[in-house]
Amino acid sequence: MKQYLEEKNFKQGFRKDVERLSKQKISNCYQCGKCSAGCPMAFKMDYPPTMTMRLIQLGLHDEVMGSNTAWYCVSCETCTTRCPREIDIAKVMDTLKIMAQAGKYEVSDTEIPIFDWIFLKSLQYTGKVYELGLIMTYNIISLNPFKDVFPLGLQMFLKGKIALFPHFINDPVAMWEHLEMFSKIHKKQKEKIRETNG
Ligand code: SF4
Ligand code: SF4
């Protein structure tokens, strides 16, 4: 941690920005570690939730926004449920993603936001994730066409775990409602990005 504690690495107002946008009082975190202890994705994160909270408190924006932490968060809300200070940590993770999408910061692992985007597009247009399309699109965009194809992908395909064609929502009314829901989500997301930049 010592190398981060230099004046040039601190950004005045970063904590206040995250607190304002997430509506969470991050300064209340007293580093008990309960959030990280329960987080199923902590093992993949550059910084587990507890450490991320501390980095935000210190205003170390490059460390927070340049890490993969928020992108590995699966919004399970275990951390939020466990926090004795009633901080909605899952909401903070969402806020960090919105801040990154607003274009102010770079993320260290650019493949995760790409995966995120393809996953949601697949869900939006078919109503259920189309795994084969997801894998192929992701591999092509990330310039790694055979990633996980052999032997894992092939084995799953042969066992019928990956369908050749997507499943669609058959009921037109349900499909319309589904698309409406995504349209509302996109609208909300754009508002959040405007708020972040504003
Ligand atoms: S919401 Fe995200 S940060 Fe919190 S426990 Fe789940 S994966 Fe971890
Ligand atoms: S559980 Fe809450 S108080 Fe404890 S480290 Fe995590 S955010 Fe901080």
Residue 197: C-alpha distances to residues 52, 80, 120 (Å): 22, 26, 23
Q: Which amino acid is at 97?
A: K
pLDDT 10s digits, 57-97: 999 988 898 898 999 999 999 999 999 999 999 999 999 99
Q: Is the peptide bond before 84 cis (omega within 30 degrees of 0)?
A: no
Looking at ligand 2, which residue's alpha carbon is closest to its atom 3? 29
Q: For a substitution probing ligand 2, which of 18, 32, 96 has the most ligand atoms within 8 Å of its CB?
A: 32
User: What's residue 56's pLDDT?
Assistant: 95
**Beta carbon of 77 within 6 Å of any ligand 1 atom:** yes
Q: Which amino acid is at 78?
A: T
Does the structure show a pLDDT above 90 at 109? Answer: no
Among 5-9, 44-48, 137-141, where is mean pLDDT lowest?
5-9
pLDDT 10s digits, 121-140: 889 988 888 989 999 999 99
Q: Give the nearest ligand 2 atom to 32 CA.
A: 4
Is 26 in a helix, a strand, or coil? helix
Query: pTM of the prediction?
Result: 0.81
Q: Could you give the domains of the chain?
A: 2-101 (1.10.1060.10), 111-197 (no CATH)
Ligand 2 centroid to 42 CA: how many Å? 14
**Burial (CB count within 10 angstroms: exposed 0-12, middle 13-18, buried 19+), residue 158:** exposed
Mean pLDDT, range 182-188, rounded to an integer: 91
Is 139 in a helix, a strand, or coil? helix
Mean pLDDT, range 21-42, rounded to an integer: 97
| Residue 105 neighbours by CB under 8 Å, 6+ apart | 61, 62, 65, 66, 99
**Beta carbon of 163 within 6 Å of any ligand 1 atom:** no
Ligand 2 centroid to 89 CA: how many Å? 8
